[in-house]
């Protein structure tokens, strides 16, 4: 995030204006209208990049119940990444990781359509794309960009909630151990008297 990128509003507006074809149903078998591997290949081409056919195979829909939301998020990210601000800023591996790995992680927590319909989710997806390119929103320092990312990131909040639960569990175990020890010491004191 050392380089300044486009204004955040430019990207969130782009998400708000996502064209209907990018929100179509991904192809699973004979149903659906969006061939996600082809869309990913087109997005890479628009960025001046390419990928091997074998790298695009992971985007082929196999299990609708598990992959529909992640692939819909991939479609939305393809639209976002074709913004001219990203041209020349990403490598193929970064784009593929964002479109597959990051999309899968986010899609476990949030419906893809929320990244178009919800202000905070649009900001989150825009910031994620910028971070993937090593950019921060125009006019923000690295510290402000990082703080804001931690505030809006669904995955960071989930990680923090997990860490908080683990810390609370450790504290509970310590309290129980201290209570047992105090009870044992009290019992020892009574047995000596």
Instruction: Say what the pLDDT of residue 192 is.
Output: 66
pLDDT band at 95 (very low <50, low <70, confident <90, very high): very high
Instruction: Say what the pLDDT of residue 41 is.
Output: 98
Cβ partners under 8 Å of residue 133, min gap 6:
5, 86, 89, 90, 94
CA 154 – CA 172 distance, rounded (Å):
27
pLDDT at 161 exceeding the cut of 80: no
The sign one gets for the Cα dihedral 20, 21, 26, 30 is positive
> What is the value of pTM for the model shown?
0.83
Instruction: Say what the pLDDT of residue 193 is.
Output: 63
pLDDT at 126 exceeding the cut of 70: yes
- Would you kindly state where each structural domain of the chain is located, as residue ranges? 3-152, 157-193
Q: What's the rounded mean pLDDT across residues 27-52?
A: 96
Name the residue among 83, 47, 42, 45 with its Cα closest to residue 59. 42
């Amino acid at each position: 995030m050392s380089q300044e990128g486009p204004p955040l509003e430019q990207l969130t507006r782009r998400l708000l204006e996502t064209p209907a074809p990018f929100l179509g149903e991904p192809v699973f078998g004979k149903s659906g209208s969006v061939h996600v591997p082809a869309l990913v290949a087109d997005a890479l081409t628009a960025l001046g990049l390419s990928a091997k056919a074998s790298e695009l195979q992971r985007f082929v829909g196999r299990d609708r119940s598990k992959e529909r939301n992640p692939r819909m998020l991939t479609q939305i990210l393809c639209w976002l990444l074709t913004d001219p601000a990203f041209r020349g800023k990403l490598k193929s591996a970064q784009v593929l990781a964002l479109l597959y790995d990051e999309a899968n992680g986010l899609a476990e927590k949030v419906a893809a359509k929320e990244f178009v319909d919800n202000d905070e989710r649009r900001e989150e997806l825009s910031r994620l794309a910028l971070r993937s390119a090593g950019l921060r929103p125009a006019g923000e320092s690295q510290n402000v960009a990082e703080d804001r990312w931690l505030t809006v990131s669904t995955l960071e909040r989930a990680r923090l909630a997990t860490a908080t639960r683990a810390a609370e569990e450790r504290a509970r175990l310590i309290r129980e151990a201290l209570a047992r020890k105090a009870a044992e010491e009290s019992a020892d004191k009574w047995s000596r008297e």
